[in-house]
Amino acid sequence: QVGQLGDTMGNDVFIVGGFVRDFLLGEENQDLDFVVEGDGIAFAQALNEIIQGRLTIHEKFGTATIQLPDKRTLDVVTARREYYEYPAAMPQVEKSSIWSDLFRRDFTINAMAIQLNKSKFGQLIDYFGGIQDLEDKNIRVLYNLSFVEDPTRIFRAIRFSTRLNFNIEDETKTFIHEAIKDGMLDRLSAERLREEILNTILEKNIQENILSLDRFKVLEIIHPKLQASQANVEKLQTLKETINYFRTYESRPDEIEVVLIVLMHLLSDLNEHDLVESLNKLIANKGNYSKIKETLENRKIIYEQLKQEDLNSYDLYQLLNQFSLESIIYYYNDCDHSYVKHYLLFYVLKLKEIHVEISGEDLIKLGIKPGPIFRIVLERVLEEKVKGNIYRREEEIQF
């Protein structure tokens, strides 16, 4: 349909970028990016007449996005002919629009296009050796200043290399080191830097990404003392399995915030002062900030308490009740002591969801006058419930 529309409107039209890369790798990619030589916005409008999605136009950039009912998005970009000035005595060279569009992109493997017009349908456009780099498993930039122009590409290089199991090609590696040394990451806003770091950490192979961030000295930018220690990386290796284990017991398994647990591991060697400085850079949300801080600050006390042989269930409940599930999972993955693990699991399986069902109103009905006594009564009811002496609401009232 897209190719046909291109023919009707007299535009050359291509599918480009991530879709082409993944298509050639035999992977699925639902994000469709089209480049139109000509008026991309008029093209997107005509296309949307046919497919009836939700069209958003960005006049200034000559781009448009169509949101399809099945949540997929389709981006249309206008490609323009541009003149490129070559150094020294070389003349200005006019390049075709699709060349100019592809040349602006991040890596050779992302800078290929497939033509969609009928007469050239399926023709692969690969000006920069993308196919060769796909075969050789290389992440390679198209020009020296790529990372200076867009420092977020540093994170993209790391992400693609771990996601696809590709190498960052040597010269590209040097460009990354130089861009970081020249302070290019400082030019990103705090929010953008945070977003890129967290997205990179969470991409598929967590410990590989963290090691890579360490190797490129990006962790040092968060805090000079922050590094991927051997011990932390080992813990991260078991984390996925631990999280899956806890997910099987959770009623809302998708709500576990993996990134918080990863950060707890990553930041666990820092002293209190360094921890606070790192958190200030990494976390904007106050709730998440204190979750990480309190989990790490209480770690030693928690382990000490949980190493006791004869901890009763109410003491256990009181000890852990203040912590989120992410903290519990972190403690479980961090500590190798069998009692600690046993108690943490017992708490999640048997105690975590226990709460008192009766309220102040019930107490008033029972003839108790409102006051501090309410708290004491409800606390005692809770204790009996946690100890397994009472279960149902009626038993709470009787008690």
Residue 112: name the closest of 20, 33, 24, 30 by CA.
20
- Minimum distance, C-beta of residue 212 to ligand CTP, in the bound complex (Å): 16
Q: Among 18, 38, 62, 129, which residue interacts with ligand CTP (rule: CB under 6 A)?
A: 18
Q: Among 37, 101, 106, 169, which residue interacts with ligand CTP (rule: CB under 6 A)?
A: 106
How far is Cα 245 from Cα 206, in angstroms, rounded to an integer?
17
Which of 73, 96 has the CB closer to ligand CTP? 73
- Minimum distance, C-beta of residue 24 to ligand CTP, in the bound complex (Å): 12
**Residue found by looking up tokens 């042989």 in the block:** 309
Which of 205, 318 has the CB closer to ligand CTP? 205
Which of 206, 264 has the CB closer to ligand CTP? 206
Q: Tell which positions 154-183 bind ligand CTP, by CB under 6 A.
A: 156
The answer to whether residue 196 forms part of the interface with ligand CTP (CB under 6 A) is no
The answer to whether residue 78 forms part of the interface with ligand CTP (CB under 6 A) is no
User: E-assigned strands of the chain?
Assistant: 12-16, 32-37, 54-58, 63-67, 73-79, 82-84, 93-95, 113-115, 124-125, 138-139, 167-168
Q: Is 303 helix (H, G, I), strand (E, B) or coil?
A: helix
How far is Cα 58 from Cα 13, in angstroms, rounded to an integer?
19
- Minimum distance, C-beta of residue 299 to ligand CTP, in the bound complex (Å): 35
Residues 6+ apart with CB under 8 A from 371: none
Residues 6+ apart with CB under 8 A from 53: 66, 67, 68, 69, 74
Residue 93 near residue 52 (C-beta atoms within 8 A): no
The answer to whether residue 152 forms part of the interface with ligand CTP (CB under 6 A) is yes
Amino acid at 306: L
- Minimum distance, C-beta of residue 129 to ligand CTP, in the bound complex (Å): 15
Q: Tell which positions 334-393 bind ligand CTP, by CB under 6 A.
A: none
Which of 107, 317 has the CB closer to ligand CTP? 107
The answer to whether residue 250 forms part of the interface with ligand CTP (CB under 6 A) is no
Side-chain-side CA neighbours of residue 25 (13 Å): 23
Which of 150, 395 has the CB closer to ligand CTP? 150
The answer to whether residue 105 forms part of the interface with ligand CTP (CB under 6 A) is yes
Q: Tell me which stretch binds ligand CTP (CB under 6 A): 39-47, 150-158, 166-174, 284-292.
A: 150-158
Kindly state the tokens that stand for 215.
């190797």
Name the residues that contact ligand CTP, by CB under 6 A: 17-18, 31, 33, 105-106, 110-111, 150, 152-153, 156
